[in-house]
Structure 1
């Protein structure tokens, strides 16, 4: 059950990051989950486990990490289409 909550929260975190970076429309739900989970790991690794937590993820560092992931991935994906 915890795994399912982690996927849902990861999708929400990825969607928030996509909306903040204005790249959310081009990302699907699977990419949102991946960005949220990877961003959570990166954000918590860089910034620690502070702030409100949901499904074992610190939300603020996770969102910041997901923004970084979305920005970096969209930079490289956008670059390869030129």
Structure 2
């Protein structure tokens, strides 16, 4: 139970930091930040591996980098869809 709660809180924190680094408004508030944190954790570990401190199942530094990349790519996609409509 505590492990799940810590994972969710870390995902929200990592997603919020990634959003602040890119200076993009992630839609969805806390839920959007949590999704960006989980996706960033997966993307960061895929690209950079699992090095650095691990908290709640997240390698923190790669997860933050992956989250920033995820938010950046999501912003590019949303701009592309706004222009096409």
Deviations 1:46-80 (A, max 9, x none): 11111111112110000011011101111001221
Compute the displacement of 1:7 (Å).
0.7
| Distance in 1 between residues matched to 2:26 and 2:75, nearest whole Å | 10
- Runs ≥4 residues deviating over 2 A: none
Match of 1:30 in 2: 31
Match of 1:55 in 2: 56
Instruction: Structure 2 unaligned segments of length 5 or more: list them.
Output: none
Match of 2:42 in 1: 41
**What is the RMSD of the two structures over their aligned residues, measured on CA atoms?**
1.1
* TM-score using structure 1 length: 0.91
* TM-score using structure 2 length: 0.88
Equivalent pairs counted in the alignment come to 81
